[in-house]
């Protein structure tokens, strides 16, 4: 699968929230999503440009109902032989688990929704700790716990009748700095996002880098309609396995970020990965610093 196509899929996952149950605190629990609708279906078009003028296109449909969210992405990817490979993937977010499944091969994984741990942790904060938590988020320019790395707000624009705030992160490549980046071997990633203000949902996202560019844009938004419950379940016959290592890492990262906003002190997430048989075998670990870089 094309590397940049994977990147835009990951970006979409990143920009949509993992849902959690509502709760009552003196200040809103940032781990609880509050939408301006009871249910919604959002339709997107996706476009990926890479290599020497190669283009792949796809669609994504997002379903939201109460505390559940499902995304179905369909695409057509040309491989190295010029043949087209069709893809269909599901991402399902429930209060307990996050699922990722290939609907063609009928295989997938699930992990614990990390908000099972951070939502009740916030509920246990004192009033003063809640105030400090929100202040630290505000100082970092974080409009939602699920929308990190948006960058600087640069304007507003209406998309499909919804008011959006526009953010950008990184440096957009121009013919001038493109040649400079290529000569220096430096990486460059630029992202521009149009975030539906009252729903905290991206309605348009553009990304670009040395290897290509991607665009995700909403074409239709439907609100307060009936959505069958089966949309929010993994299709029968799909083989789902529990990814223990990833689940634990996501939990630790979420709790480390929670501690950052609670105390203001950067946290380090460390995990030891299991041995895998690849070109060579090695026991390795991974760590991630959760700090002011968001």
Domain count, the chain: 1
| pLDDT digits 0-9 by tens, 172-189 | 776 566 566 555 555 578
- 59 or 276: whose pLDDT is higher? 59
Looking only at the bridges linking them, the beta strands covering 39-50 and 239-242 are unpaired
CB atoms within 10 A of CB 164: 23
Quick one: pLDDT band at residue 77, thresholds 50, 70, 90?
Answer: confident
CB atoms within 10 A of CB 116: 18
Which of 25-34, 55-64, 93-102 shows the lowest per-residue confidence on average (mean pLDDT)?
A: 25-34
Q: Residue 139: which domain range?
A: 3-290
At 183, which CATH number?
Answer: 2.50.20.10
Query: Which residues, at least 6 apart from 144, have a Cβ–Cβ distance to it below 8 Å?
Result: 17, 30, 200
Average pLDDT for residues 124-150, to the nearest whole number? Answer: 93
The tokens for 179 are 């040649």
pTM for the predicted model, two decimal places? 0.82
| Average pLDDT score, the chain | 83
First vs last C-alpha separation in the chain:
29
| pLDDT digits 0-9 by tens, 227-263 | 999 999 999 999 999 999 999 999 999 999 999 999 9
- pLDDT over 80 at 48, yes or no: yes
Task: Answer whether 43's CB lies under 8 Å from 59's CB.
Answer: yes
The tokens for 148 are 């990190």
- 12 or 70: whose pLDDT is higher? 70
């Amino acid at each position: 699968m094309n590397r940049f196509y994977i990147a835009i899929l990951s970006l979409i996952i990143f920009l949509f929230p993992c849902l959690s149950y509502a709760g009552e605190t003196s200040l809103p629990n940032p781990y609880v999503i509050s939408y301006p609708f009871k249910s919604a279906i959002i339709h997107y078009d996706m476009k990926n440009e890479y290599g020497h003028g190669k283009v792949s296109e796809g669609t994504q449909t997002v379903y939201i109902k109460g505390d559940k969210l499902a995304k179905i992405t369909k695409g057509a990817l040309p491989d190295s032989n010029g043949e087209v490979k069709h893809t269909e993937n599901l991402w399902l977010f429930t209060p307990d688990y996050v699922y990722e499944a290939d609907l063609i091969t009928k295989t997938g994984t699930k992990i614990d929704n990390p908000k099972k741990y951070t939502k009740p942790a916030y509920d246990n904060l004192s009033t003063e700790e809640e105030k400090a938590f929100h202040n630290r988020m505000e100082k970092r320019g974080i409009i939602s716990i699920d929308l990190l790395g948006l960058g600087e707000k640069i304007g507003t624009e209406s998309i499909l009748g919804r008011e959006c705030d526009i953010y950008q992160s990184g440096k957009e490549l121009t013919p001038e700095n493109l040649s400079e980046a290529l000569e220096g071997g430096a990486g460059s990633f630029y992202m521009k996002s149009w975030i539906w203000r009252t729903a905290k949902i991206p309605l348009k996202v553009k990304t670009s880098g040395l290897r290509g560019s991607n665009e995700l844009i909403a074409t239709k938004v439907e609100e307060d309609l009936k959505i069958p419950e089966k949309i929010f379940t993994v299709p029968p016959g799909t083989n789902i396995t529990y990814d223990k290592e990833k689940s634990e890492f996501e939990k630790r990262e979420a709790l480390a970020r929670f501690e950052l906003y609670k105390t203001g002190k950067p946290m380090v997430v460390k995990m030891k990965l299991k041995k895998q048989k690849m070109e060579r075998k090695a026991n390795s670990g991974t760590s991630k610093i959760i700090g002011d870089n968001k």
